[in-house]
Amino acid sequence: MSVNIFGATSKFSSGVNNSYIDQKFKTLSTNLASKVNKLGDSMTGDLNISLNDDKLRTFGVSDLTTGQSMSLLLGNVDNQLRHNFGHPLKLTGAFGTKLSCSGGDVCRMGAQNDARARFLKDVVMSNNYITGLHDPEGPQDAATKNYVDIKCIKNCVGYIPNMISNNLNKTGFIISANSEVELNEACNVFSIIGEWLSAVNTDFWIQVRCPERVRIHKFAVKGTKTSTIRVWKLQATNDEITWDDIFDNALDGNSAVIDESHSFHESESLIKYHTYRIFVINAIGENPGLSYWQLYTVDTPV
């Protein structure tokens, strides 16, 4: 038997009186007053929407167009889920947003005065890339490919072996000079005894051709007891024609003279060269030259 909105059955009842009808109208008025107005009302209490037997229950706005937006407030305007049409979905939390699952906290994005993301678990990239990183600065920074590619190790052991002749083909090093005094060959600067002496005092040089191109970070030199090399350069080339200045003591006001003391000099060159030479512009003393010379290389990735 069906019941109408007034609570009466479809079957006419002669027992209906005015008091009964008045009560039904009061009940209807109360129910209508408690309904949420579709034009915009506020309600109190929990709002639980049951799925019942349906496969999908939708909730929200589905007809946004240009210039419109939809916001789901989560306590106040500082915490909300918002979508402006044509723009990414925006989740705003005054004290940041934390993502969690049954396995624990996953990450926290932002805080009251910090917009950074902090991951609380491992990040699995599934064979994808992380891009846009800067080269590491701190000890715990992630290393970039560029950082690894240019990473170098400075050797503190001399690169050139003990030489007993100017052209020792077994090692691949070739030593030469444009001026030599008999028995004082250029190769002596890379041996434990002997000296290289020049017959001239200006514009003379000694050079070493390496078996492969190498980059150096420093070099050592030592002069002789009877002379002082005042103005000189360390130069390098890969074609034996164009020479690049690696070190020029004239830039220091000729302060780095070569005398009988052992001295080290730094090189900031990033280039690998086949041949290095010391070019002497001016020296004083009879038969100026060197008693020692050594190169210290930088190991870099291929």
Q: What is the pLDDT of residue 1?
A: 53
Question: Among 27-31, 144-148, 155-159, whose mean pLDDT is lowest?
Answer: 27-31
Tell me the percentage of the chain whose pLDDT exceeds 90. Answer: 70
Please indicate, yes or no, whether the overall pTM of this predicted structure exceeds 0.75: no
Q: What is the pLDDT of residues 257-300, one digit of tens each?
A: 999 999 999 998 989 999 999 999 999 999 999 999 999 999 87
* List of domains in the chain: 69-150 (no CATH), 167-299 (2.60.120.260)
Question: Where does the pLDDT of residue 185 fall: very low under 50, low under 70, confident under 90, or very high at 90 and above?
Answer: very high
Q: Is the pLDDT of residue 15 over 70?
A: no
Comparing C-alpha atoms, which of 80, 111, 81, 109 is closest to residue 95? 111
Q: What is the pLDDT of residues 204-220, one digit of tens each?
A: 999 999 999 999 999 99
Q: What is the pLDDT of residue 220?
A: 97
Q: What is the pLDDT of residue 299?
A: 87
d(CA 46, CA 36): 14
Q: Is the pLDDT of residue 5 over 60?
A: no
Which residues are 244's β-sheet partners? 236
d(CA 295, CA 219): 5
Would you give the end-to-end CA distance of the chain in angstroms?
91
Q: What is the pLDDT of residue 264?
A: 95
Q: Is the pLDDT of residue 10 over 70?
A: no
**Mean pLDDT across the chain:** 89
Question: Among 132-146, 170-184, 250-264, whose mean pLDDT is lowest?
Answer: 250-264
């420093």: which residue's tokens? 218
Output the DSSP codes for 26-60.
HHHHHHHHTSPPTT-----S------TT-S----S
């209508």: which residue's tokens? 32
Q: What is the pLDDT of residue 27?
A: 74
Q: Kindly state the DSSP code that residue 146 receives in the 8-state scheme.
A: H
Q: Kindly state the DSSP code that residue 297 receives in the 8-state scheme.
A: E
Q: Is the pLDDT of residue 175 over 80?
A: yes
Q: What is the pLDDT of residue 87?
A: 95
Question: Where does the pLDDT of residue 145 fall: very low under 50, low under 70, confident under 90, or very high at 90 and above?
Answer: confident
Question: What would the 3-class secondary structure string for 68-134 be?
Answer: CEEEEEEEECCEEEEEECCCCCEEECCCCEEEEECCEEEEEECCCCCCCEEECCCCCCCCCCCCCCC
